[in-house]
Amino acid sequence: MAAVAANLPAEVEDGEPRREEVPDLDSQRRQIENGESGPKFVTRRGFCLWRRPSSKEKRKCRFLVGQHWYKQWEVYVKGGDQDSSTFPGCINNAKLFEDKVNWNLKKGLVEGEDYVLLPAAAWNYLVSWYGLEHGQPPIERKVVELRGIYKVEVYPVELLLVQHSAMDTPHTAQFSQTDSVDLVLRAAREQFVVSPQEETRLWVKNAEGSFERLCNTRVTVLDAALKSGQLVVMETRSKDGTWPSKQPRTVSSASKEDENFQGQPGICGLTNLGNTCFMNSALQCLSNVPQLTEYFLKNRYLEELNFCNPLGMKGEIAEAYADLVKQAWSGHHRSIVPNVFKTKVGHFASQFLGYQQHDSQELLSFLLDGLHEDLNRVKKKEYVELCDAAGRPDHEVAQEAWQNHKRRNDSVIVDTFHGLFKSTLVCPDCGNVSVTFDPFCYLSVPLPVSHKRVMEVFFVSMDPRRKPEQHRLVVPKKGKISDLCVALAKHTGVSPERMMVADVFSHRFYKIFQLEESLSTILDRDDIFIYEVSGRSSITENTREDVVIPIYLRERTPARDYNNSYYGLMLFGHPLLVSVPRDRLSWDALYHILLYRLSRYVTRPSSDDEDDGDEKADIEDKNSIPKPGNAVGGSSQDPGPEQAGPSSGVASGSRAPVDNSPGPSHWPQRARRKHLFTLQTVNSNGTSDRSNFNEDTHAQPYIAIDWDPEMKKRYYDEVEAEGYVKHDCVGYVLKKAPVRLQECIELFTTVETLEKENPWYCPSCKQHQLATKKLDLWTLPETLIIHLKRFSYTKFSREKLDTLVEFPIRDLDFSEFVIKPQNESAPELYKYDLIAVSNHYGGLRDGHYTTFACNKDSGQWHYFDDNSVSPVTENQIESKAAYVLFYQRQDVARRLQSKPQPGLSDPPAPPACDPLPKSEFMDIN
């Protein structure tokens, strides 16, 4: 509180006499005594306490008068002689000051001993009668209320004000503890001659020597815990939109080159911090919403920061976003690094911590909600009971719903992005109709989904001369395995009854499917093989039906041990499903059947080769061909982590040979002959031999073909084995018909039945019902965000819809979708123009986000790809990657264009709020 430097008496209030109208001494005494405010004051820690003043006195201040002069004056007036030698002369408070330069009060002055306190009226009387010592300022002090007690603040808080750029030249200023921090900021701006267009903020140096932000400038000096002698730093935002305290101590050469850069405001990239393209895309879209960006550039957000909202982020998200906007639209950056914003987002939304890829629409939803709560003009949200229509007219219910929404939610986000739905629920049992109106921030519209699905499979014929064929099949999305076989039969001519479908992974069968299983269990990335088999395996035993046996290929690999006699086994190649007649279930017959099936890429040895390998084959037969009852064994109940096993579809049912294949005790003993490979029963994972087999259990037999490395090298052609051909259907380009955006909106407003997981409680039936639900658009916002639901998630599958959605750049007409009675004289209230698009390229596991946006100043479209920005034409905007669309209502665009060019205004003060926000910290360079 700066002292008033004036020696002349202030204007006399309430008809007080001027100096030339000096009354007699008795009248002077009565007027002064009547002007005083009650009993003597009690001094306590720099304050004088007294009785509760009247409402008029609360607005008054008090003046200090030296005790010596005041006592002299009392003696003079009581003597009654105006010519007496006791005349006190001019009011002289010299004994109360420490010096005659800054006129600071001495410390430890006591009321009643060193000074008296007079009301303003009494002070004005005395000054008008006696005058004030030349050069001395009046000592005026405020009457303040602190925690319900009224006091005279004799010693104000003295703060040392400095600029961030000149920390060594502090300026002392006095403030009352009831003054707002905003007054401190205004005093600092005035002291350091800061122009109204420049934005400033305050930091205070605490006892530990670090600096904390004074975020909420509407709290008092007392609530901000400011003490006399504390250093308060005023920081001024740079022309490029950054704060000096946020700049690194070491400036890179690249940033030095950009110091004098001047480009188009808003044409600024965002550095990818590591999988943060989703965040960059959402920020670029939001930054190009004209009215929101103007709101931040003109500093209107400062007066609406809500630091005490329990649902908000203490203003930190809003301030971090404002910093980004000011930097991007300063025109001084080619690109900026949004690391501070990323840190703030991760702090308040843990799902965005780290550097994993996320959804730009999810980040956008969080950001809009965070900005809304940080800028909510409603400081204390009242309880609002939601009311059903109960037969009332729609316009009445809608108006009530919107007013109730605004009673709790009122911000620039609501003004810009919020609209109103009409939701109609109908009970299927009693027919009860419930109508409510609900606000929305964006539309998540579904894409028309095709009921067909394209699957790629490999067909393996029983004819060993034919290579596997790759086929591209169109099947029902909710179809069964049998539908896949029927579709393949049209291409191959092989009956679906002679097909078995398997998922092959890592050279083994991950799963062998049953005919009735759903296709939804097969993912697009799965390698699906369909094998031709000779026929069915019988339900009953002792029939002459064929048995289908899974075959694995393995290679012996030498492993080091003490005896150098152990061989490891590695799977390789593609497994087979081989039909074997039940009456030929012998090792020797099976060997020749497999040799025939492998004949395309396995060469039969000549007679000389057989003689050379005779001895070796005999030795191997002794060691590796199992004997009945002990060598051929193992249990299929020990499946590995990536296998199908008996439970995967080969253990039961007509398609599986499980119940019809003989156990190992039924297999004839193999004769010792000269073989290219040996056969071994294995578990369903194909990685270990079967042992201790229970003969009473009819488990699916899995056979491994084990190759010696030398024999494999001589007789096995790996190139030929891996070869396959593409059927003509693979070359067909399956074009998806594009859909119009209006079709998506129509689908959004169609009637749907609630899912079992989300029933509706009918107040009439008193129970949860799978009601029908219909959403209609009642009112639309200034800026409409349309989210295209490209990502589909079900229990068994996830997919991205790459359907081309045709959306207009201009004149998107919503008049046919808005059911509220329309104003026909203002058609622009229902027409929208595109201003930004968030794009997603790639699939579910990986992808990349970019942005198309129209600059609000130039009207030019640009493509934002992280820190790269390039101009584009309008015909480049529409693509299959379009994910989130931003549309602006045409009347809003015209209104913004009619306004003068934006200029920065004085930074307004944020609203008052009792709790202090979480402090920030600053390094003083």
Q: Measuring CA to CA, how many Å separate 868 from each of 277, 737, 865, 905?
A: 12, 32, 5, 31
pLDDT in tens, 727-739: 988 877 667 778 9
Residues in CB range of 547: below 8 A, 6 or more apart: 537, 579, 580, 581, 582, 585, 657, 660, 661
Q: How many CB atoms lie within 10 A of CB 606?
A: 9
Specify the length of the chain in residues: 925
pLDDT in tens, 453-504: 889 999 999 999 999 999 999 999 889 999 999 999 999 999 999 999 999 9
Continuous H helices in 356-465: 360-374, 394-408, 412-417
Catalytic residues: 277, 848
Q: How many CB atoms lie within 10 A of CB 539?
A: 11
Query: CA angle at residue 795 from 792 to 800, to 5 degrees?
Result: 20
pLDDT in tens, 371-382: 999 999 998 888
Q: Which of 353-357, 411-415, 444-448 has the highest mean pLDDT?
A: 411-415
d(CA 236, CA 856): 27
pLDDT in tens, 91-100: 999 889 988 8
Q: Residue range 737-747: average pLDDT?
A: 91
Q: What is the maximum span of the chain, computed from C-alpha positions, in angstroms?
A: 154
pLDDT at 696 over 50: no
Query: Taking each helix axis from N to C terminus, what angle separates 120-130 and 25-35, rounded to the nearest 10 degrees?
Result: 150
Q: Measuring CA to CA, how many Å separate 305 from each of 163, 232, 390, 710?
A: 24, 22, 38, 78
- Please indicate whether residue 48 or residue 361 has the higher confidence score (pLDDT): 361
Cβ–Cβ under 8 Å, residues 460 and 531: yes
d(CA 581, CA 577): 13
**Per-residue pLDDT at 565:** 52
**Per-residue pLDDT at 411:** 95
pLDDT at 704 over 70: yes
pLDDT in tens, 46-63: 444 444 444 444 457 889
Q: Is the pTM of this model over 0.85?
A: no
